[in-house]
Structure formats: structure tokens, C-alpha cells
Amino acid sequence: MATAMNVTSACFYLESNRRSVHGVRVVASKNFSVSKTEEDKVKLGASDLKVSRLGLGAWSWGDTGYWNNSEWDDAKTKAAKSAFDVSIDGGITLFDTAEVYGSWLLNGAVNSETLLGSFIKERKQKDPEVEVAVATKFAALPWRLGRQSVVKALKYSLSRLGLSSVELYQLHWPGIWGNEGYIDGLGDAVEQGLVKAVGVSNYDESKLRNAYKKLKERGVPLAANQVNYSLIYRQPEENGVKAACDELGVTLIAYSPMAQGVLTGKYTPENPPSGPRGKIYTPEFLTKLQPLLKRIKEIGQSYSKTNTQVILNWLLAQENVLPIPGAKNSQQAEEFAGALGWRLTSEEINELRSLAQDIIPLGFAQTIGK
């Protein structure tokens, strides 16, 4: 989703949804899956926060503009809730959302944070000991100035989520101005106990280093930089972001790790994605993609794995990378867990990289937000 699309929806949503943030009671747990040991988790950067090696992205939850071409309804809510429950059951307990996800209210959308909060509440009623880690994001809108805007927005997010704190709070994209204040706001959120770790998203190498330095000065580690990263979109490797994350000890959270579904093999030149994604993943592009998809499938068959599980495993093999694939239903969520517990060979990793070398989706750039 282009950053402009996020900003447009955010402008409407945030101005029309001011509400009280009092009465928040539920607290997200510090640990993340009762069925998994500490060895099955990874630390986010230099923070003390440990999370599952895969997360679940909630970008599509509540959306009616980019991911869903019809009004959000009870059936979609039920499917998303099933994805949430199946993820937890499979040990994937980190959920990534944002205040602007599902903010196309004129089209009947429902805010993603609100949905996630309701799922957590319902699950805790059945299993009070269930452990869930929540990551959400601050929209760096032009009129939001100063450090206080970050804390204020976080409190609104906490109200929608029904939580008194979250595990990870991220700046969704760099602001046109005011970034110094935003970084200060992240530090304030940590000191006020509203969040356990902080990160950024869609930050280039220079902005990443500046954020890291400014937070370090007040003793707060920059835990993560969330960027677009997949087998066919490797710009973080080319623009210095991946290397900087590795050097600084900042976890790279990979959104769109399946290239918005096209690496799963579900789309073909005859059946491209609908809506805005169809302008990126055109029939011409999908034709060019077929040899890579064929090889992914062959490798997967040798492990009894699906395309999805192979491409997620490829990302995990890059080290210091935490993919957050999105799931609309339980079938998709269940599939993700199969990416864990095994590893592609070095030869297979390099072969897939070589086959994908010249495949770049039309119009993609690091500035594309999500």
C-alpha cells in the first residue's frame, strides 16, 4: 500500500475517532507462548523483549480498500478471529497492527486494532493465561508535532486494543518533519511503561542510524526496523538497511514476506490479483515469475512443504529477520507454522536468490508503506 494511501485514510480515520482512553485494564503478557520454550523465541534487537520467530500481520483485518474489495462483515471477522486463534495454537504469538489499518470507514471498514483487541479479550476469557505480544504503529501525519503526539496516539491505540501496554510501538514511516520529536516520544512511551520496546518502519539507512543514536543517548535500544522484504524484493540488502540492522543489532521485521501473496503461486498471468495489487503484479510480471515459482514448488516438494513455507524459510535463513506474513483465515495461518523447525540448504538459498535476481515488481520502492 502506498504511503499516500495510508496518510489519506489515516487523516479521515484519526480525525473521526477521538475517544476517551480511560478504563483500560487488560495487560499483554511479557512472555509469548505457553507451548513454546524460550529457545523457540528471538530477542528483538538489544531489547529485553522476546517474541516468536514468526509474527502475524493484521494489515488486511478490517480493510475494504486494498485487501478486500467488499464491505467488512461478520464472516470476515470470524475468519480473522480463526487466523488469530490458530496462530496462537501454533506458537505464533506476535501480532502486528497499526492505527491506520482498516481505516477506510466510508467503505464500511473496521479498525484493525479494534478487531485484534476483541480477539485478545475473547481468547483471554476462555484461557486467562494465554500469552500474546502486540506490535502497533504511530502514523507520522503532518499535523502531529512533538513528542507528546506519539504518546497521545499510543494511548488511543491502547484504548482500541483494550490494553494498558503493548510489546512493540513503531513509527510507521518517517515524517515530513518532526522526526526528532517522534523519537523522543518513543523514549517517553518506554519510560511511562506504555510499551516494552520501540522500533521504526520504512526507515532508510540514514534515518535508521539517526533514530538508533538518539534513542541510545537516553538508554533506550532501537529494537526493530520494519520494512518490505521478500525473495523478490530485496532492496533492504541493496540500500544498506539490512547491513545497518545487522551491525547495530536491530531486528529487521519483514512485511509482505510473500510479496502480497504472489510467491504462494495462487496468482497466475490468467488470474492476477484484483484491486491495487493488480497494478503491481501484472500478467506480464506474473509470466516472468513462473520459472521461480516452479523451482520453489520443486524444492518444497522435496521437504513436503508448500511455496509459502519455503519462501518464509528463505527469509528466516537470512538471519536477524522476523517475517510477519498476513493471514485472512485459519488455513493461511496454519500454513505459516510449517516454515519453522527446518532449514533450506545453502545451495537452495543461493539458487532461489539467483533465480529471483532480476525479478522486481513494477513500481515497488522502499518508500512503499504498509
C-alpha cell at 8: 489519506
Q: Is 171 helix (H, G, I), strand (E, B) or coil?
A: strand
Radius of gyration of the CA atoms of the chain, in A: 19
Task: Give per-residue burial for 31-68: e unless 16+ CB within 10 Å, then b.
Answer: ebbeebeeeebbebbbbebbbbbbbbbbbbbbbbbbbb
Q: Is 94 helix (H, G, I), strand (E, B) or coil?
A: strand
Listed in sequence order, the DSSP H helices in 217-329 are 235-238, 241-248, 277-280, 283-303, 307-316
Residue 271 pairs in a beta bridge with 268
* Beta strands across the sheet bearing 195-201: 55-57, 94-96, 133-138, 166-171, 195-201, 222-228, 251-255, 321-323
| CA pair distance 325, 32, nearest whole angstrom | 18
Helix axes 112-126, 147-161, angle to 10 degrees: 50
| CA pair distance 231, 109, nearest whole angstrom | 31
C-alpha cell at 265: 503461486
Choosing from 101, 203, 255, 281, the catalytic residue is 101
Show the beta-strand stretches assigned E in 184-248.
Answer: 195-201, 222-228
Q: How buried is 75 (Cβ within 10 angstroms: 0-12 exposed, 13-18 middle, 19+ buried)? A: exposed
CA distance to 81, 103, 110, per residue, from 182 (Å): 32, 22, 27
CB atoms under 10 Å from CB of 288, counted, come to: 14
101 is catalytic: yes
List active site positions. 101
